């Protein structure tokens, strides 16, 4: 048998285009860095860049979870509300435990509770989507509303604050450094590396990608489709829980507006990183680049008077629409 | 029909059936898709399942491959009664199915498709990683056995022709130890040359002792390679014939309910 004639006419050209698509997020990142340098002398300082990285790591960890969900052709709109809900319960748990335990075990148990709540919330989303066969968009829109108002209710419209005695214990999780690297950045980097390996070198990543490409083909190829899709939502929940571990020590309080629009930021980061919204193609390191792009945009807006930083959300909204538009063209 | 014997290897397969389906019924609500279908397949034979559109072919093979659960009837694999809960169960029992449109993901490489769902791993938990070198090597070998020379293991399935894609899917099933291979209309979307290639592949696989269930509504393709022929019409089996016992016209009549088609053929001036 001979090879079919419908292979690309100019493989070199196709290869170059593919390379450009792969490097796109990095080019955008470099462009933004140049723009930042021109806009403000403060931009290039190590302090500023570390600050951008540290602030990005919370969204970054969530966005890495979202990369798997979206690659499997799912969607989770509830991550922002889930983060607030998880953080709220975690703080309540710590405050409650502080009465009966010393500060350190209370804090550790509270943080463990955050991971458990995150995983549980992810499992609820996953069950409704996979077993209940309800559109992911609707399920997570619903759980977003539920968790958001639960936070408001728990905070009684105000805020849920960590007891003063506990603040010092968790503080290093956000403000601490290891070998000069802030802890959040380190956690983000470790999560990103683990996720990249899982995506490209583990069965799990292959199965997630196959399901996103064509769930029926995956099912007929004996891939446990339901279990894997479920796992992506639980993984997303665990990522939110991890992000919460970093978030809680940072501010020590949760308000009804905590985590507002984080889902927009996380999904935008995933999409501009080159992961296909229609599933079947996921790039973890692209998501990392995407998070940094969004972080730099916000940072540049903050450093310059050119555009109000209050328009940050508008930039993110525009970026996500443009990114999906470009994907549509490419496909 | 002079082409009848092109791909044929000799006498009919004997021995006990690998898979036996008895009086299978399947209802979807009030719709009766299968109303008592019996079918069996032996090692090394090609058993053709013929039927017009809507006859129940697809429902039947989906029942056989674990996608649907039968409403009634008995299914045996190597003599033992089985009940499949999922396609995975059927696969573990040695029944592999190649669906026409659902066999492969075109954008993915041949290697990825070949190993999909059964990726080889190396190392110890939790560091078990994909063994990509082994995956590529095995795929290249299996493909060249089937007469497909890939440019490289990363070549996308989408760049292969329809016939080659079917062959990749068949090679994959056989490599993973299929005892029964169900082919859903493997030739219906193919040109003449590609069809010949697929029929030749079927013959190759049959000679290795695999039982092939060949679903088709094209009598000529079926006669070119089949040992036995079962015709399905409106959810029921109209009977099974051995090679040599029937000719194209008879099969065609059975599939379409006879008379009307004969009239049509008369007005068209030839066999359809």
Torsion sign (Cα): A65, B127, B178, A3:
positive
What are chain B's domains? 15-105+179-268 (3.40.50.300)
Write the pLDDT tens digit of every residue in B61-88.
889 988 888 988 899 998 889 898 888 8
pLDDT of B262 > 80? The answer is no
DSSP codes, B95-146 = EEEE-TTTS--TTSBHHHHHHTTS--EES-TTS-EE-HHHHHHHHHHHHHHT
- Distance, CA of B180 to chain centre: 9
Write the pLDDT tens digit of every residue in A21-77.
677 788 888 888 888 888 888 888 888 888 889 889 999 999 999 999 999 999 999
What's the rounded Cα separation, in Å, for the pair A221 and A36? Answer: 49
Q: Name residues whose C-beta falls within 8 Å of residue B121's C-beta, 6 or more positions apart in sequence.
A: A203, B128, B129, B130, B131
- pTM here? 0.83
Q: Is A278 on the interface with B (CB under 8 A)?
A: no
Write the pLDDT tens digit of every residue in A30-39.
888 888 888 8
**Per-residue model confidence (pLDDT) at position A331:** 47
**Per-residue model confidence (pLDDT) at position A5:** 40
Residue ranges of the domains in chain A? 54-259
**Per-residue model confidence (pLDDT) at position A172:** 77
The mean-pLDDT minimum among A266-280, B39-53, B155-169, B257-271 falls in: B257-271
**Per-residue model confidence (pLDDT) at position B11:** 53
Q: Name residues whose C-beta falls within 8 Å of residue A323's C-beta, 6 or more positions apart in sequence.
A: A268, A271, A272
What's the rounded Cα separation, in Å, for the pair B64 and B66? Answer: 6
Q: Is A73 on the interface with B (CB under 8 A)?
A: no
Interface test with chain B among A200, A204, A212, A222, by most B beta carbons within 10 Å: A222
Q: Which residues of B touch A10 (CB under 8 A)?
A: none
CA-nearest residue to A207 within chain B is B117
pLDDT of A271 > 70? The answer is yes
Q: How confident is the model at residue B5 (pLDDT cuts 50, 70, 90)?
A: very low
ipTM of the complex: 0.75
Report the percentage of chain A scoring pLDDT > 90. Answer: 46
Q: How confident is the model at residue B265 (pLDDT cuts 50, 70, 90)?
A: low
Write the pLDDT tens digit of every residue in B106-119.
888 899 888 888 88
Interface test with chain B among A2, A3, A228, by most B beta carbons within 10 Å: A3
Give A180 or A230, the one with higher predicted confidence. Answer: A230
CB contact under 8 A, B130 and A203: yes
Write the pLDDT tens digit of every residue in A189-214.
999 999 999 999 899 999 999 999 99
**What rounded mean pLDDT belongs to chain A?**
87
CA-nearest residue to B147 within chain A is A1
To the nearest whole Å, the CA of A205 is away from the closest chain B CA by 10
Q: Is B109 on the interface with A (CB under 8 A)?
A: no
Q: Name residues whose C-beta falls within 8 Å of residue B168's C-beta, 6 or more positions apart in sequence.
A: B103, B104, B110, B113, B114, B143, B146, B148, B157, B160
By three-state DSSP, how is residue B255 classified?
helix
The mean-pLDDT minimum among A150-154, A294-298, B80-84, B234-238 falls in: B234-238
To the nearest whole Å, the CA of B208 is away from the closest chain A CA by 21
Inter-chain CB pairs, A–B, below 8 Å: 75
Sheet holding B180-184, edge to edge: B95-98, B180-184, B211-216, B46-51, B228-233, B236-242
Q: Is B102 on the interface with A (CB under 8 A)?
A: yes
């Amino acid at each position: 048998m001979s090879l079919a004639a419908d292979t690309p006419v100019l493989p070199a050209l196709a290869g170059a285009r593919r390379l450009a698509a792969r490097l796109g997020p990095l080019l955008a990142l470099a462009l933004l860095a140049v723009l930042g340098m021109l806009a403000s002398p403060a931009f290039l300082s190590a302090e500023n860049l570390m600050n951008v990285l540290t602030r990005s790591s919370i969204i970054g960890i969530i966005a890495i979870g979202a990369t798997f969900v979206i690659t499997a052709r799912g969607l989770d709109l509830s991550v922002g509300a889930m983060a607030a809900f998880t953080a709220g319960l975690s703080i309540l748990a710590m405050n409650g435990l502080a009465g009966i335990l010393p500060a350190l075990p209370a804090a550790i148990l509270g943080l463990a509770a955050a991971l458990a709540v995150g995983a549980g919330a992810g499992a609820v989303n996953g069950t409704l989507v996979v077993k209940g066969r309800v559109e992911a968009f609707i399920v997570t829109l619903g759980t977003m509303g539920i968790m958001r108002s639960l936070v408001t209710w728990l905070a009684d419209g105000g805020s849920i604050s960590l007891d003063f005695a506990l603040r010092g214990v968790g503080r290093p999780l956000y403000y601490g450094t290891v070998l000069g690297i802030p802890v959040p950045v380190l956690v983000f980097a470790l999560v990103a590396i683990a996720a990249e390996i899982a995506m490209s070198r583990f069965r799990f990543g292959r199965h997630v990608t196959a399901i996103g490409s064509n769930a029926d083909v995956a099912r007929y190829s004996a891939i446990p489709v339901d279990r894997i899709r479920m796992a992506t939502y639980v993984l997303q929940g665990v990522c939110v829980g991890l992000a919460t571990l970093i978030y809680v020590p940072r501010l020590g309080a949760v308000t009804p507006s905590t985590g507002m629009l984080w889902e927009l930021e996380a999904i935008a980061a995933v999409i501009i990183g080159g992961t296909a919204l229609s599933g079947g193609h996921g790039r973890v390191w692209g998501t990392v680049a995407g998070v940094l792009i969004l972080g730099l945009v916000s940072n540049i807006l903050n450093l310059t008077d050119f555009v109000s930083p209050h328009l940050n959300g508008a930039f993110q909204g525009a970026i996500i629409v443009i990114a999906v538009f470009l994907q549509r063209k490419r496909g | 029909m002079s082409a009848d014997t092109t791909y044929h290897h000799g006498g009919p397969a004997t021995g006990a059936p690998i898979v036996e389906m008895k009086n299978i019924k399947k209802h979807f609500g009030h719709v009766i898709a299968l109303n008592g279908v019996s079918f069996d397949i032996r090692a090394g034979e090609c058993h053709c399942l013929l039927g017009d559109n809507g006859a129940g072919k697809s429902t039947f093979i989906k029942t056989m491959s674990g996608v649907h659960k039968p409403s009634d009837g008995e299914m045996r694999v190597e003599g033992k009664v089985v009940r499949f809960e999922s396609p995975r169960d059927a696969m573990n029992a040695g029944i592999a199915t190649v669906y026409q449109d659902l066999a492969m993901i075109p954008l993915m490489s041949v290697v990825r498709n070949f190993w999909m769902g059964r990726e080889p791993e190396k190392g110890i938990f939790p560091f078990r990683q994909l063994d990509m070198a082994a995956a590529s090597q095995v795929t290249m070998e299996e493909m060249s056995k089937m007469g497909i020379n890939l440019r490289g293991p990363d070549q996308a399935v989408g760049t292969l022709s329809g016939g080659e894609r079917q062959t990749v899917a068949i090679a994959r099933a056989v490599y993973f130890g299929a005892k029964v291979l169900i082919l859903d209309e493997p030739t219906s979307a193919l040109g003449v040359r590609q069809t010949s290639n697929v029929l030749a592949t079927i013959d190759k696989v049959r000679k290795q002792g695999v039982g092939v269930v060949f679903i088709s509504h094209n009598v000529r393709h079926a006669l070119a390679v089949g040992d036995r022929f079962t015709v399905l019409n409106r959810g029921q089996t109209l009977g099974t014939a051995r090679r040599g016992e029937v000719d194209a016209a008879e099969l065609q009549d059975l599939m379409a309910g006879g008379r009307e088609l004969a009239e049509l053929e008369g007005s068209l001036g030839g066999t359809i």
